[in-house]
């Protein structure tokens, strides 16, 4: 549930913890009842604070710039400006803010555009509240969020995109170290940082640093974009 403090800023029912202990979330959806439902579900979690809400894409951008939430839960289709357009704008204004796109369908076009826009996760609206909560925590921790069924659709989009671009001249590939290439291949396969660390016999913090350097070198916003890049540049072959 959402309340306002004396300074006018919104905070969740469990917003009294010490700084850094809570995940600060902005909910953006044009359906008031769905927003209220999310607030009720998330408001029960001691480590999650609803800092604000938005009813359209323009408001989502303004509220993100004002509040700088850790995570934005945002509907793909909203009035004034779509969730995809708002995602692009938010990534420019607040690159550190994670974005989970919400949708009523698993339409491939929306999924692909969300990845291109820099979304860190993609969820169907009718998933259980527990899945939204666990997904929110995973994205906040630096992981990408996408269901296996939707991941296969995304790979199909990658394959189609690669076929269309095969005849086009390509720009030089930014230079990655051998270790960064190893990490990128494992990221593209969907492994979490702890699993990459275990497989490469390095610390999880080292993996995080490698992922950050990879994204900076390639000028990408998310691990999903990095996966798309790996398939496009044939650093990792598409599965049959």
Pick 93 or 111 by higher pLDDT: 93
Determine phi and psi for 183, rounding to 5 degrees.
-65, -45
**What pLDDT score does 92 carry?**
87
112-158 confidence digits (pLDDT tens): 777 778 888 888 888 888 889 998 998 998 887 776 556 555 555 55
**What pTM did the predictor assign?**
0.61
Q: Hey, what are 213's tokens?
A: 């350097």
Residue 5: other Cβ atoms inside 10 A: 9
Phi, psi of 92 (to 5 degrees): -75, -40
Number of neighbours of residue 152 by Cβ within 10 angstroms = 11
* Nearest residue to 56 via CA among 75, 70, 37, 34: 75
Query: 52 to each of 3, 26, 62, 125, 228, how far by Cα in Å?
Result: 9, 5, 11, 19, 32
| Domains of the chain as residue ranges with CATH | 2-152 (3.40.50.2300), 169-232 (1.10.10.10)
Is the pLDDT at 171 greater than 70? The verdict is no
Question: Mean pLDDT highest for which of 66-70, 94-98, 101-105, 114-118?
Answer: 66-70
């Amino acid at each position: 549930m959402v309340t306002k403090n004396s300074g006018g800023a919104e905070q969740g029912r469990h917003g009294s913890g010490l700084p850094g202990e809570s995940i600060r979330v902005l909910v953006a959806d044009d359906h008031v009842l769905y927003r209220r439902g999310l607030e009720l579900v998330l408001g029960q979690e001691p480590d999650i604070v609803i800092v604000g809400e938005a009813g359209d894409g323009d408001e989502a951008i303004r509220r993100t710039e004002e509040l700088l939430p850790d995570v934005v839960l945002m509907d793909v289709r909203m009035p004034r400006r779509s969730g995809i357009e708002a995602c692009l704008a938010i990534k420019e204004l607040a690159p550190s803010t994670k974005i989970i796109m919400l949708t009523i369908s698993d339409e491939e076009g929306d999924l692909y555009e969300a990845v291109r826009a820099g979304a860190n996760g993609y969820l169907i609206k009718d998933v259980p509240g527990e899945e939204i909560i666990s997904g929110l925590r995973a994205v906040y921790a630096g992981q990408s969020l996408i269901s296996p069924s939707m991941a296969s659709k995304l790979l199909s989009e990658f394959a189609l995109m690669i076929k269309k671009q095969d005849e086009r001249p390509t720009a030089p590939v930014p230079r990655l170290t051998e270790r960064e290439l190893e990490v990128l291949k494992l990221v593209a396969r969907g492994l979490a940082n702890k699993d990459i660390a275990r497989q490469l016999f390095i610390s999880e913090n080292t993996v995080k640093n490698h992922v950050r350097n990879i994204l900076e070198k390639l000028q990408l916003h998310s691990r999903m974009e990095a996966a798309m890049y790996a398939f496009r540049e044939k650093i990792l072959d598409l599965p049959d």
